[in-house]
Amino acid sequence: MSEALTIEMLPAEFGDCLLVGCHRDGEVHWLLIDGGTPGTAGVLRGRLAALPGGEVDLLVVTHLDADHIGGIVELLSGPDCCVRFADIWFNGLRHLPPPPGAARGFAQAETLTSVLTGSAGGDALPWNAAWNGEAIVRADDHPKTGEALADPPCITTSWGLTITLLSPTPKRLTALWRGWDKYLQAARKGESCPQTYQDRSRSADAGRGLEDLAATPSKKDDTAPNGSSIAFLLEFGGRSCLFAADAFATVLYAALARLARLRKVDRLELDAIKLPHHGSQANVLLPLFDVVRARHYLVSTNGARFEHPDDPAIARVITRGGPDHTIWFNYRSEQTRRWERVGGCEPYRCGFEYPRSDAGGIVVEL
């Protein structure tokens, strides 16, 4: 039986738009993870139009930041969507658990929800069908120790795909509920949600060693939309990839540590990891590599908005990512091209892959 997993990082500006193909004996099942910025919609529409059969098995809209949801809203709101989605995963306002005793009003016209429910004028679309229409969420972590209190939920399809949910938790969805109005307004303006931590790159040209750069103190991401990200481990045909969206490193760590214990291993060894938050140093923290590492690391961004990927984050991947691994960039930007000359450096043996076209976009075959 011939099986393969392909991950295409479309040129989504400073966002994520990932087309995943699960290949088996000439048959392909497709997953789409996010749609990039609104400006990505044209590229995405053209790529989806080229898919044979005109169906995508699963669309995952990880969270409401404009650089993830924007292209999807443009795609689904237009008259020429060109594909059918068997299921769409997205945690909308109806899925967010309010804090006890809370009473608050929200803006009623939420674009994607209107499209999914059919209230925008079209047919209703399948929404969180695999979760019986409920929130896509795993159990909260221990409030003091931060350890996962339950095994991450797992869904397996009839054609052999397994998805293990790593993020979000109810705590993170409640945090999003509290700030829904503010974040929704930002998304409608085509803006990313305000950053409340320092998230600036530090130059690899500054003469600092890789170990020193990796050890740079980094404040943890604390933005509610990022914390609400749907992140998961995808496994198919003996291949595996962690799609981390913009999830918090602490939430990922807790779920991955629990999963490693469940599988009776010290650390999960994967084929690929799509780095969280476009390679932000606030989300790619050193403890992550104590519980997971991979042969391939994927970075999706052109660096235009927040100068991602951050140098400390890439240094952490180089020094802690495991032997003979490769970092894949879907753009050759000021932030990514500086690493080209570092490739193959001892003792880390890390390689780098860049797009062949200045327009960006790259395909990883596992």
Domains of the chain: 3-98+125-364 (3.60.15)
Q: What is the pLDDT, as a whole number, of residue 94?
A: 86
Q: Looking up tokens 């040129």, which residue turns up?
A: 11
Q: What is the pLDDT, as a whole number, of residue 207?
A: 46
Long-range contacts at 130-135 (CB < 8 A, ≥ 24 apart)? 130/87, 130/89, 130/155, 131/89, 134/95, 135/91, 135/95, 135/96, 135/97, 135/173
Q: What is the pLDDT, as a whole number, of residue 104?
A: 42
Q: What is the pLDDT, as a whole number, of residue 190?
A: 57
Q: Looking up tokens 């004028």, which residue turns up?
A: 121
In order of 157, 241, 254, 298, the CA distances from 271 in angstroms are: 20, 6, 20, 11
The per-residue pLDDT for range 271-317, each reduced to its tens digit, is 999 999 999 999 999 999 999 999 999 999 999 988 999 999 999 99
Is residue 52 within 8 Å of 84, Cβ to Cβ? no
Q: What is the pLDDT, as a whole number, of residue 66?
A: 86
Q: What is the pLDDT, as a whole number, of residue 184?
A: 65
DSSP 75-100: HHHSS---SEES-EE---GGGPPPPT
Q: What is the DSSP letter of 56?
A: E
Query: Could you check whether the bond before residue 309 is cis, i.e. omega within 30 degrees of 0?
Result: yes
Helices (H), the chain: 41-49, 66-77, 111-117, 170-178, 180-188, 210-214, 224-227, 249-262, 288-291, 311-320, 334-337
Amino acid at 152: P
The per-residue pLDDT for range 236-258, each reduced to its tens digit, is 999 999 999 999 999 999 999 99
Bridge-based pairing of strands 55-56 and 84-85 is parallel
Long-range contacts at 155-161 (CB < 8 A, ≥ 24 apart)? 155/130, 157/29, 157/57, 159/22, 159/24, 159/29, 160/22, 160/24, 160/236, 160/237, 161/22, 161/29, 161/31, 161/57, 161/234, 161/235, 161/236
If one counts every other C-beta atom within 10 angstroms of the C-beta of residue 337, the result is 13
* Regions of the chain short of the pLDDT cut 70: 1, 99-110, 183-208, 343-344
Q: Is the pTM of this model over 0.85?
A: yes
Is residue 127 within 8 Å of 133, Cβ to Cβ? yes
